[in-house]
Structure 1
Amino acid sequence: MTNPNYARLQATAQRLIAKYGQAWAVRRETPPDPIYGGVPVVTTYPATLVPVAYEARYIDGTVIKTGDMQIYISPVGLPIEPTVGDVVTANGTDYAIINGNPNKYDGVTPVVFIVHGRIAA
């Protein structure tokens, strides 16, 4: 069941991300059909997001590396939930999603998507 408090939190997060964020994109590649083949289909979803560099104290060289970004993505108007394997474009750079947290506190309403992005090779 949807909790109205989380809808208000989502609206607050959307307002802050819209104020301080950027309009970029989330790309998802759908693999070809395993039986019929074909080519992968890449779909781009416009998103509003805020990329934030990790503080030096969190960079350990294994889980979090130099150049990794913590990316806050607004769920409002985004038809997908960013997951591992998607690519986020922020600051003109492509970041592959390594880990993510949908922040669905009530299990239904995503307040904000927080993903760990690494520069895509």
Structure 2
Amino acid sequence: MPNALYTRLQATADRLIKSYGQAGTVTRLGPVDPVEGGDPVATPYPAKLVPMAYSAREIDGTNILAGDMQIYISSMGLAIEPKPGDLVTASGKAFRIVNGDPNNYDGITNVVFIVQGRIA
């Protein structure tokens, strides 16, 4: 059973992202057909998100590069959990997810997805 506190935090995060964020997409690339080959099938999922630049002190040149974005994605209504390798479209640019944190404190409720996006 979900913890009521995390359900309220999820609703609050969703409300703030809808109020101050923007519409975007999370695109998952499917596997390539092992027999036929070809391009992977891209499946886009609509999302509400807030892209934010990392501060200069967070950019270390190894894990976080200049140009990387920290993207907050509302978990409410999103059909998938964003993972490394997915593409996020925000501010008219495509970012490949390098790292992510679902903020899942009780093992049931994803409060908000915070991902590190790198220009694709």
Same fold, TM exceeding 0.5? Answer: yes
Q: Distance in 1 between matches of 2:12 and 2:37?
A: 43
Q: Distance in 2 between matches of 1:113 and 1:75?
A: 6
Matched, 1:46 2:52: no
Q: Distance in 2 between matches of 1:102 and 1:5?
A: 16
Match of 1:20 in 2: 20
Matched, 1:80 2:80: yes
What secondary structure does 1:81 align onto?
A: coil
What secondary structure does 1:32 align onto?
A: coil
- What do residues 71-104 of structure 1 show as CA deviations (whole Å, max 9, x unaligned)? 0000111000000000000110100000000011
Q: Distance in 2 between matches of 1:48 and 1:38?
A: 33
Match of 2:114 in 1: 114
State the 1:45 CA deviation. 0.4
Unpaired runs of 5+ in structure 1?
none
Match of 2:9 in 1: 9
Match of 1:56 in 2: 56
Identity within the alignment, %: 65
Unpaired runs of 5+ in structure 2?
none
Match of 2:70 in 1: 70
What secondary structure does 1:2 align onto?
A: coil
Q: Distance in 2 between matches of 1:24 and 1:2?
A: 27
What secondary structure does 2:57 align onto?
A: helix
Q: How many residue pairs get matched?
A: 119
- What do residues 36-87 of structure 1 show as CA deviations (whole Å, max 9, x unaligned)? 4354211000000000000001111111111100000001110000000000
State the 1:32 CA deviation. 2.3
Q: Normalized against structure 2, the TM-score is what? A: 0.95
Q: Distance in 2 between matches of 1:68 and 1:61?
A: 10
4+ long deviations beyond 6 Å? none
Q: Distance in 2 between matches of 1:102 and 1:6?
A: 12
Q: Distance in 1 between matches of 2:15 and 2:57?
A: 29
